[in-house]
Amino acid sequence: MATERATEISQAQIAVHWKEEEYVRPTTKFVGQANLVDPAVTERFSEDHFPECFREYADLLNWSQYWHTTLDTSNPPFWKWFVGGKLNACYNCVDRHLAKYGNKAALIFVPEPEDEPVYTITYQELFTRVNEVAAVLRDFCGLNTGDRVTIHMPMIPELPITMLACARLGIVHSVVFGGFSGEAAGLRAADSGSRVMIYADGYYRNGKIVDHKPSADIAVALAEKEGQNVEKVLVWRRHYGQCLSTKPMVPGRDYFMDEVLKDFKRAKVDPISMDAEAPLFLMYTSGTTGKPKGCQHRTGGYLAYVTGTSKYYQDIHPEDVYWCMADIGWITGHSYIVYGPLALAATSVLYEGAPNYPDAGRPWRIAEQLDVNIFHTSPTAIRSLRKTGPEEPKKYNYHFKHMTTVGEPIEPETWRWYYDVVGKREAVIVDTWWQTETGGFLCSTKPALDPMKPGSTGPPVLGIFPIIYDEEGKEVATGSGKAGNICIRNPWPGIMQTVWKDDDRFVKQYYAKYCKNRQSKDWRDWPYFAADGAVGPPDGYYRILGRVDDVINVAGHRLGTKEIESACLTVPEVAEAAVIPVVDEIRGRMPVVYVSLKPGVSDGTRVKEEIVSTIETMIGKIARPKAVNIVPDLPKTRSGKIMRRVLAAISNTMDTGDVTTLANPDVVELIRRQVQGEGPVVMKEGPEDVKRFGESE
Ligand code: WT7
């Protein structure tokens, strides 16, 4: 085991370290209006009050039947939350707001082309449209509660409308990020057993029309190959009555939604009262093997958790205009564009396009135009907006009260720009650490109660009790300055239920590593392994270093190195492939590909292009590598394992360590010169007060 680990490299090991920063306090103006100002909340959510503390979140929802048991731990780690309770997620996000907020904006859609008008969907209109779509799903597609539907759509309002229509009927939606390839969508459709897929014809991105419909044909073909028949493909048109795609519709399979909807005008579909434990959706994410896993989220616990955290940590009030500049195709969008904000009757802004289009002032113009007062985005977006338009925010008259960062560690320098320039020193910042699996936030400051600290995610959120373990399962003391594996000691309502159709993988991936006793029914014996490296400083403000497994977080989006390697190996000329993470100034991390070729291949440039295009078609443009290095051989141990750690050290200009025991030590220097040039060995160093990941005392 030890040798196997030593061949691999994780993000945490190439983490960029920085010094502890001073606290920054929220303004009194922010505190004066915040949802959460009572310090007693910490006591209410203390370990003594676990799990009943989470009633406070569940009570933010309307239940058609109240639950009798808050947490059932009889079958660890398959926790059950709010057992006996019944509710409908769509009802909670739409119907229940009609009496008071029917004419208030629920969604504001901002198209990428700036000359196309912004349009607003009120709660009343959302209700009407969701009902009509639900009628299509039920009566035209014949879908029932518990069926799965794969939705491969860009950021247009029809995406949340379709999700809510599924939720209304207890149909399990599986949204695949629009930027993923047709192959990726087809694989997920097959795994989830979807007989209906939902698409859009096209969308605007970076000033161009993206023809999205071809992905549907690829996805259906791939699903078919995997044994899943897709009977119907519903295609939303970005412009009514006009098609952005050049691809023909397949008769008897493909249907334009606007045409089907003509038969369902003003149809009403009663929301189905669902068990709290009924699955609400699947969200596929990259894991340690090539195959992405379907994280299955429950209805009651999930909705309670995202509603509670949206209220307390995003500080959302119904009168706020909230803009999360992320994609609904990721968990951030599910929890904090759709379900959390709509459950609180907020106005949620949806932006179709690229943050920098047509220039780096675009987000700030949108903020001014719509009077956005809560803004949420990733460090990658902040870095890129800062690089291309450092002075742009000053030109626009908007005022944020609250800003969020999510998805990757944010370095203090970027944090300062976000705070000083974007937030104009008026907005509080929360740095929220969490994962697809966790449903909602795990660490963040309470915006009105805790001071901020640039570069640290902050304390655990209410009702979450972390612990850091070393590889051997010994607790790493908080304040020791040592990094380890961050785990969560207790269950919480937002945690996924299982991996779709794969309970074993769920247990293995998240609980086996630190489970104290597999027979135990006590949750205290079942810590959740997050696969992130972290340091716990004396003040309890955690610093997340990044993944400890072979997952790379590119621009806050998760990719498995094994998935990218498998794609490379499908290129006929490639003999061996290794993918490693490299630090990138804008995107945080990016994959770098190393390959050796089969004998007799001469045209390296063509092979490189082929590798890049294969990765793009099999996964998506998001996985495009920062570099492809064709090398004579990959460094290997004597037992033949590829030393990814050595390759990552070279690409990140870090120490390669002792390589003399390798099977082919000479190749290391050859590769180093090829990648770094002929100069002397250069090495980066971090500050001395933080030990690097895995470093011993
Ligand atoms: C991984 C999860 C959470 C929604 C978006 C990403 C990294 C997430 C932070 C943060 C440092 C962070 C972790 C985590 N991460 N937030 N605030 N600071 N790292 O969800 O695709 O499931 O990725 O993102 O490494 O494990 P995801």
Instruction: Output the average pLDDT for the chain.
Output: 94
pLDDT tens by residue, 537-564? 899 999 999 888 888 888 878 888 888 9
Residue 1's pLDDT band (boundaries 50, 70, 90)? very low
Poorest-confidence range of 17-31, 70-84, 192-206? 17-31
Q: Return the DSSP state at 477.
A: P
16, pLDDT greater than 80 = no
CA of 555 to the centre of ligand 1 (A): 10
pLDDT tens by residue, 425-461? 999 999 999 999 999 999 999 999 999 999 999 999 9
- Indicate if ligand 1 lies below 6 Å from the C-beta of 457: yes
Q: What angle do CA 550, 183, 584 make, to 5 degrees?
A: 40
CA of 407 to the centre of ligand 1 (A): 4
629, pLDDT greater than 90 = yes
Dist CA 208 CA 112 (whole Å): 10
Residue whose CA is at the smallest distance from ligand 1 atom 10: 433
pLDDT tens by residue, 289-321? 668 899 999 999 999 999 999 999 999 999 999
Task: From the CA of 405, give the closest atom in ligand 1.
Answer: 17
Predicted confidence at residue 15, as pLDDT, reads 79
Residue 74's pLDDT band (boundaries 50, 70, 90)? very high
- pTM exceeds cut of 0.85: yes
220, pLDDT greater than 90 = yes
517, pLDDT greater than 90 = yes
Q: Best of 282, 408, 488, 563 to mutate for ligand 1, by most ligand atoms within 8 A of CB?
A: 408
Closest of 448, 435, 488 to residue 465, by C-alpha:
488
Dist CA 611 CA 567 (whole Å): 8
Predicted confidence at residue 680, as pLDDT, reads 66
Listed in sequence order, the residues at least 6 apart from 33 whose beta carbon sits closer than 8 Å to its beta carbon are: 317, 401
Poorest-confidence range of 2-11, 192-201, 264-273, 492-501? 2-11
- Indicate if ligand 1 lies below 6 Å from the C-beta of 379: no
* Structure-token match 């795994």, residue found: 191
Predicted confidence at residue 288, as pLDDT, reads 67
470: exposed, middle or buried (Cβ count in 10 Å: 0-12, 13-18, 19+): middle
Residue whose CA is at the smallest distance from ligand 1 atom 14: 435
Residue whose CA is at the smallest distance from ligand 1 atom 23: 435
- Indicate if ligand 1 lies below 6 Å from the C-beta of 331: yes
Mean pLDDT on 175-191: 96
* Count of residues in the chain: 697
Residue 688's pLDDT band (boundaries 50, 70, 90)? very low
Cβ-contact 650, 9 below 8 angstroms: no
Predicted confidence at residue 603, as pLDDT, reads 87
Predicted confidence at residue 697, as pLDDT, reads 38
Residue 11's pLDDT band (boundaries 50, 70, 90)? confident
